[in-house]
Amino acid sequence: MATKYHSGVIYLGNSSFSDYICVSEQGKIISDEEFHSSEIQTEVNLDGKFLSPAFRDGHSHPLFAGRESRGLDISDCTTEDQLIQKLTEYDQANPTLSWIDAAVFDRSWNIRFDRSTLDKAIQDKPVVLHGDDHHTLWVNSKALEIAGLLNTVLPDLDSGVIDIDDEGIPTGILREWPAMSMVIDHAPKITTAEDIQALLWADQAQAAAGIVESVDAWIDRGMAETYLAAWESEHLQLDYTLCFRADPATFLEDIEYFIKMRSALDITNGQISGSSIKFFADGVFGSASALVSEPYLTTGEHGQSIWPKERFTEAVNLAHDNGFQIHIHAIGDAATNLCLDILDKLENYTYPPVIAHAELTDQATLDRMVLLGAVACVQPYWAQNNGLLLTCKEHLGQERLERLYAFRDMAETGVTTVFSSDWPISTYEPLKGLAVAVNRSEFEGQVIHNSDQAITVEHALANYTVNVKKMLDSENTGTLEIGEPFDAVLLDRDLFASEKQQLKTTKVLATYKSGKRIF
């Protein structure tokens, strides 16, 4: 049975529109002739709604988001009283829980970020709060005690920070993974069945937001196995590219496992690909740990390099020689240039290399990215004056703050720019990211963040669709042209004809993947 979709505004994703679109039984977009020569024909009236290529998320953490959704949501708290009340009520309602996990706290809250604040709510079991940057944990005394971080000499960490008070006692704030894992490693292990449920929840949430494909940018041991098990359940709907996380301490052993897992995923016929390795070049601005060329105003330092340069170069080379895509977290300008120095020496990419975040760039850096064919995988939702941006201000100063998220310069310089969510750090909904990319603000009355860097709806759509396909070096284009799979999203309003301020209230009515309606 072939289907003809008509009577809507149909955007093909290649700067052109069509009056209708025909789809084969197998879910491929076909020509008029093919449609008329098919035995059974049916029609779908789009009723004036807007059909566009479906969204793709270039950098997300669906499994983490799914796991996080199992804990307590504290994102709506704004005061200490509210937080304590919420934690206390949750503890009373869930007496069997041996560990309290909650997300996310806003680091710009005017609250004393100390273990004693959380002790007011719960003392007899560990409480772990995840910060909105997901690079910060705030824990109570019990959690520190279980991690062996109280009444002891603190360990020397290669990177990451355990904040201490005047007496050298941990305050309860842990920064970056090496410090955070000292507590998190003691959390009760999630069962395989629970993990699959968490992933399927995230899968469905993304489908409902118009997404048909997602890149999971942090895969540790056990996570690819969850993806595989979810695929075997036959309920996993989206396509995924998994990025195995390169840990500087264990990379040489881990890469053997990455290669093995990449082959194991072949069974999914391309629905899940293990083709990428994720590196961290630096930290984040909010903790003054991203690598910057000019020192931070607060610390006078240049941030933290996660790898010694020589070992970083070796590791990237090894990943490249084994045919993996290089996907590097680089936030500061010095981190991006450090990556480009390393990438500069590599030849014959299987996939274009990806700089994830690339938050602080200048023209020279963007020119280098074009030359090297490096993709900028950025988060449009962050380009607004909110708490996340404010936590960077004191460290960077106003001038550098204004230079963040130079999406228009990227587009005009010719850098392949991919939009992504970094969910659960921020919302997974592409329409919200798209609205911020166009408006450089989310809400009316909000101070606009560098309006010069606003981009058009057409560019924003490309960054969420065809450019993601380019980044993944896919056979498909991500458009709605003849021969492509019918991967499409139906929206309640024409994005091109809408008032810019209304974009964020656009609703997803249906999501199609290879012709099948998945939402």
Interface residue list for Zn ion (CB under 5 A): 217, 422
In the complex with Zn ion, which residue's Cβ is closer, 236 or 243? Answer: 243
| Token pair listed for 138 | 């705030």
In the complex with Zn ion, which residue's Cβ is closer, 425 or 454? Answer: 425
Beta bridge partners of 215: 241
Reduced to 3 DSSP states, what percent helix, strand and coil does the chain have, rounded to the nearest 5? 35, 25, 40
Q: Helices (DSSP H) in 288-447: which residue ranges? A: 309-321, 333-343, 363-372, 387-396, 398-403, 407-413, 430-439
In the complex with Zn ion, which residue's Cβ is closer, 195 or 422? Answer: 422
Q: How far is the CB of 78 from Zn ion (least distance, A)?
A: 26
- Rounded to whole angstroms, the Cα distance separating 158 from 403 reads 30
- Residue 377 in contact with residue 59, Cβ under 8 Å? yes
Helix (H) or strand (E) segment spanning residue 6 = strand 2-11
In the complex with Zn ion, which residue's Cβ is closer, 215 or 369? Answer: 215
Q: How far is the CB of 374 from Zn ion (least distance, A)?
A: 17
In the complex with Zn ion, which residue's Cβ is closer, 57 or 484? Answer: 57
- Rounded to whole angstroms, the Cα distance separating 102 from 143 reads 13
Q: How far is the CB of 144 from Zn ion (least distance, A)?
A: 26
| Token pair listed for 282 | 């630096």
Q: How far is the CB of 233 from Zn ion (least distance, A)?
A: 26
In the complex with Zn ion, which residue's Cβ is closer, 239 or 422? Answer: 422
Sign of the torsion angle spanned by Cα atoms 138, 144, 146, 149:
positive
In the complex with Zn ion, which residue's Cβ is closer, 217 or 369? Answer: 217
| Token pair listed for 386 | 């909110």
Q: How far is the CB of 64 from Zn ion (least distance, A)?
A: 9
Helix (H) or strand (E) segment spanning residue 143 = helix 141-146
Q: How far is the CB of 328 from Zn ion (least distance, A)?
A: 11
- Residue 90 in contact with residue 72, Cβ under 8 Å? yes
| Token pair listed for 12 | 């093909």
- Rounded to whole angstroms, the Cα distance separating 97 from 142 reads 14
In the complex with Zn ion, which residue's Cβ is closer, 59 or 504? Answer: 59
Q: How far is the CB of 457 from Zn ion (least distance, A)?
A: 25
Beta bridge partners of 44: 5
Q: How far is the CB of 309 from Zn ion (least distance, A)?
A: 22
Q: Which residues contact 360 (CB under 8 A, 6 or more apart)?
A: 285, 290, 292, 331, 332, 333, 336, 396, 400, 403, 404
Q: Which residues contact 314 (CB under 8 A, 6 or more apart)?
A: none
In the complex with Zn ion, which residue's Cβ is closer, 333 or 422? Answer: 422
- Rounded to whole angstroms, the Cα distance separating 518 from 29 reads 17
Q: How many CB atoms sit inside 10 A of residue 193's CB?
A: 10
Nearest-CB residue to Zn ion? 422
Q: How far is the CB of 357 from Zn ion (least distance, A)?
A: 8
Q: How far is the CB of 217 from Zn ion (least distance, A)?
A: 5
In the complex with Zn ion, which residue's Cβ is closer, 203 or 422? Answer: 422
Q: How far is the CB of 279 from Zn ion (least distance, A)?
A: 12
In the complex with Zn ion, which residue's Cβ is closer, 2 or 217? Answer: 217
Find, among 385, 381, 408, the residue nearest to 398 by Cα.
385
- Residue 364 in contact with residue 372, Cβ under 8 Å? no
